[in-house]
């Protein structure tokens, strides 16, 4: 009886205590969102002074506050080799940057994570076609395109000129390559010791020479640059292009001197009026010659009656790519980062800090680019550009092609023989590489 009474009194006391307790407030603060776990990603970008990333990271964190970005400068040409050393450990970078011609190698080396199909759908129609062609490694015509990277910038060669040596009107009159060649003698007579045109590279650089090859109807690795079985060096179209280079262009840009005898220094020192170059030279040339003395224009076309010419001058389009490392342990966060790079906000920061041309189709909201004389010329040049080949086999194209041109340019070697040798050299290098 005592035990029952004790239990009754305990229950009564508890009821009384609860009924007398002050009611708890309903406005309870939920800290769960602010305490969400932070994910840290390591990003390798070619940004030596950190100007781009300094502005990009806060902009990214305004959208994704729970993704911490650890930035490390890494040269675009170095990221692949550095990342290979980490293997499948998951260490190294979660996101890395490389140029267009490294995509095929990055895929071959199993470094690149295939990005989601919905991200491709988002970028299709937003990113320039030629840039997205590169980023998908030529798979856009397939039923299911594969997106390997996000293109953040686009580039092409074009012409810059020194206004103290040649006027805007004189440049505008050089509409065709026949005009350039004819005017070179007039220019040389009026400017002793100087020449009309040079190159930012050398005259056996086949990245630059594609502008001429394309007009004669030739590009490496077939019509769409995806045939890895051969380069197609023995094409008659290429024969015609090489004959024009040797017989028509060579006499006015190097004469009897070697393919690399006149280059960038001639333009920087005021010894050449025009130079075939790209956006990478803008800052240096402005420092050397003064911004007020520089102009820019697209490459001339060929006269319609030029023997062998069947198409327009089409430069190679290049692009800087940013990819997710295949063995990243933070893929979801890394994907969000590369996706953000394609936004107008990120592309504006890129242009403002790096003077790179955004890879967007619509640049109307990128402040400053509409009045940028260099960017406007390059954008115009890109309208007819073709994407760089992205197949792995293109690695073996460059050396064979350069040797072919050097032998023809410097020694007057038989063109068709050199074409046959170049195809054999390509095949041998490919077999050795495999």
Q: How does pLDDT run across 290-322, given as a tens digit for each residue?
A: 999 999 999 999 999 999 999 999 999 999 999
Please indicate, yes or no, if residue 209 is contained in any of the structural domains. Answer: yes
Domain shared by 110 and 242, yes or no: no
Domain shared by 131 and 189, yes or no: no
> Which residue, 356, 371, 387, sits at the end of a domain?
387
State the average pLDDT over residues 277-291. 95
The yes-or-no verdict on residue 31 having pLDDT over 60 is no
The yes-or-no verdict on residue 327 having pLDDT over 90 is yes
Residue-level pLDDT at 104: 84
Positive or negative torsion for Cα 161, 162, 164, 165: negative
The residues that bridge with 295 in the sheet, in sequence order, are 161
> With bands split at pLDDT 50, 70 and 90, how would you rate the model's confidence at 5?
very low
Domain shared by 228 and 257, yes or no: yes
The yes-or-no verdict on residue 227 having pLDDT over 60 is yes
Residue-level pLDDT at 224: 87
The yes-or-no verdict on residue 289 having pLDDT over 90 is yes
160 close to 285: Cβ distance less than 8 angstroms: yes
Output the CA–CA distances (angstroms, integers) from residue 238 to 232, 314, 401, in the order listed: 9, 14, 11
Domain residues for 240?
A: 158-314+391-433
219 close to 233: Cβ distance less than 8 angstroms: no
Q: How does pLDDT run across 188-214, given as a tens digit for each residue?
A: 999 999 999 999 999 999 999 999 999
Domain shared by 277 and 423, yes or no: yes
State the average pLDDT over residues 1-22. 45
Residue-level pLDDT at 15: 46
Contacts of residue 183, Cβ cutoff 8 Å, sequence gap at least 6: 170, 173, 174, 196
Domain shared by 362 and 412, yes or no: no
State the average pLDDT over residues 401-421. 98
State the average pLDDT over residues 421-429. 97
The yes-or-no verdict on residue 23 having pLDDT over 80 is no
State the average pLDDT over residues 252-263. 94
Residue-level pLDDT at 291: 95
The DSSP letter of residue 24 is P
pTM: 0.85
Please indicate, yes or no, if residue 60 is contained in any of the structural domains. Answer: yes
Give the orientation angle of helix 415-433 with respect to helix 397-411, to 10 degrees.
150
The yes-or-no verdict on residue 21 having pLDDT over 80 is no
Q: How does pLDDT run across 388-405, given as a tens digit for each residue?
A: 888 889 889 999 999 999
CATH of the domain at 54: 3.40.190.10
> Which residue, 387, 403, 425, sits at the end of a domain?
387
Domain shared by 101 and 164, yes or no: no
* DSSP output for 296-357: EEPPPB--TT-TT--S---PEEEEEEEEEBTT-S-HHHHHHHHHHTTSHHHHHHHHHHH-PE
The DSSP letter of residue 405 is H
297 close to 376: Cβ distance less than 8 angstroms: no
Contacts of residue 44, Cβ cutoff 8 Å, sequence gap at least 6: 72, 73, 74, 79, 82, 83, 92, 93, 95, 96, 97
- Two tokens, residue 43: 């990003």
> With bands split at pLDDT 50, 70 and 90, how would you rate the model's confidence at 12?
very low
Residue-level pLDDT at 120: 97
> With bands split at pLDDT 50, 70 and 90, how would you rate the model's confidence at 85?
confident
Domain shared by 188 and 51, yes or no: no
Domain shared by 129 and 222, yes or no: no
Interatomic CA distance for residues 135 and 82, integer angstroms: 21
Name the residue with higher pLDDT: 285 or 3: 285
Residue-level pLDDT at 138: 81
Q: How does pLDDT run across 155-183, given as a tens digit for each residue?
A: 999 999 999 999 999 999 999 999 999 99
Lowest mean pLDDT among 31-45, 132-146, 340-354: 31-45
Residue-level pLDDT at 292: 97
Q: How does pLDDT run across 357-395, given as a tens digit for each residue?
A: 999 999 999 999 999 999 999 999 999 999 888 888 988
State the average pLDDT over residues 54-63. 98
Residue-level pLDDT at 434: 63
Please indicate, yes or no, if residue 6 is contained in any of the structural domains. Answer: no
Please indicate, yes or no, if residue 25 is contained in any of the structural domains. Answer: no
State the average pLDDT over residues 3-27. 45
Interatomic CA distance for residues 410 and 254, integer angstroms: 10
State the average pLDDT over residues 30-38. 60
| pLDDT above 70: percentage of residues in the chain | 91
Q: How does pLDDT run across 91-103, given as a tens digit for each residue?
A: 789 999 999 888 8
Residue-level pLDDT at 8: 46
Domain shared by 295 and 334, yes or no: no
Lowest mean pLDDT among 25-34, 73-82, 133-142, 244-253: 25-34
- Two tokens, residue 342: 């394609």
Nearest to 150 by CA among 173, 132, 175, 168: 132
| pLDDT above 90: percentage of residues in the chain | 78
Question: In total, how many domains does the chain have?
Answer: 2
Please indicate, yes or no, if residue 27 is contained in any of the structural domains. Answer: no
Domain shared by 202 and 254, yes or no: yes
The yes-or-no verdict on residue 41 having pLDDT over 80 is yes
Domain shared by 256 and 229, yes or no: yes
Domain shared by 136 and 193, yes or no: no
Please indicate, yes or no, if residue 130 is contained in any of the structural domains. Answer: yes
Please indicate, yes or no, if residue 334 is contained in any of the structural domains. Answer: yes
Output the CA–CA distances (angstroms, integers) from residue 89 to 80, 83, 93, 329, in the order listed: 15, 10, 11, 9
Residue-level pLDDT at 35: 57
> Which residue, 372, 387, 402, sits at the end of a domain?
387
Interatomic CA distance for residues 241 and 203, integer angstroms: 13
Residue-level pLDDT at 392: 83
* DSSP output for 229-295: T---TT-HHHHHHHHHIIIIIHHHHTTTS-TTSS-HHHHHTTSEEEEEE-GGGHHHHHHHH-GGGEE
Dihedral pair phi/psi, residue 89, rounded to 5°: -70, -25
> With bands split at pLDDT 50, 70 and 90, how would you rate the model's confidence at 90?
low
Please indicate, yes or no, if residue 177 is contained in any of the structural domains. Answer: yes
């Amino acid at each position: 009886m005592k035990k029952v009474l004790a239990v009754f009194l305990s229950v009564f006391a508890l009821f009384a205590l609860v009924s007398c307790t002050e009611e708890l407030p309903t406005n309870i603060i939920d800290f769960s969102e602010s305490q969400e776990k932070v994910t840290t990603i390591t990003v390798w970008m070619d940004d030596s002074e950190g100007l781009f990333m300094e502005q990009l990271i806060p902009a990214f964190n305004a959208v994704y506050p729970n993704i911490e970005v650890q930035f490390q400068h890494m040269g675009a040409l170095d990221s692949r080799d550095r990342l290979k050393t980490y293997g499948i450990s998951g260490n190294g970078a979660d996101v890395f940057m490389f140029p267009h011609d490294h995509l095929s190698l990055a895929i071959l080396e199993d470094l690149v994570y295939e990005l989601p199909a919905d991200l491709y759908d988002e970028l299709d129609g937003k990113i320039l076609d030629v840039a997205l062609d590169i980023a998908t490694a030529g798979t856009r015509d397939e039923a299911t395109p594969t997106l390997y990277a996000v293109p953040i910038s686009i580039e092409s060669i074009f012409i810059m000129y020194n206004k103290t040596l040649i006027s805007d009107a004189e440049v505008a009159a050089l509409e065709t390559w026949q005009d350039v060649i004819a005017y070179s003698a007039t220019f040389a007579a009026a400017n002793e010791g100087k020449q009309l045109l040079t190159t930012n590279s050398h005259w056996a650089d086949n990245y630059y020479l594609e502008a001429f090859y394309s007009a004669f109807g030739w590009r490496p690795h077939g019509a769409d640059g995806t045939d890895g079985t051969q380069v197609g060096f023995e094409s008659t179209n290429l024969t015609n292009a090489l004959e024009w280079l040797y017989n028509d262009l060579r006499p006015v840009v190097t004469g009897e001197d070697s393919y690399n005898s006149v280059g960038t220094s001639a333009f920087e020192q005021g010894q050449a009026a025009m130079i075939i170059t790209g956006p990478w030279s803008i800052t240096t040339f402005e420092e050397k010659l003064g911004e007020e003395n520089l102009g820019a224009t697209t490459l001339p076309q060929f006269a319609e009656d030029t023997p062998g010419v069947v198409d327009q001058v089409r430069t190679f389009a290049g692009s800087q790519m940013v990819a997710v490392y295949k063995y990243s342990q933070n893929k979801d966060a890394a994907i969000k980062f590369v996706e953000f790079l394609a936004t107008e906000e990120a592309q504006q920061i890129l242009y403002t800090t790096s003077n790179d041309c955004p890879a967007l189709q619509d640049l109307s909201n990128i402040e400053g680019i509409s009045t940028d004389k260099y960017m406007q010329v390059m954008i115009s040049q890109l309208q007819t550009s073709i994407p760089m080949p992205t197949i792995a086999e293109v690695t073996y194209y460059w050396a064979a092609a350069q040797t072919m041109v050097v032998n023809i340019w410097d020694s007057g070697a038989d063109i068709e023989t050199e074409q046959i040798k170049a195809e054999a050299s390509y095949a041998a290098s490919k077999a050795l590489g495999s």
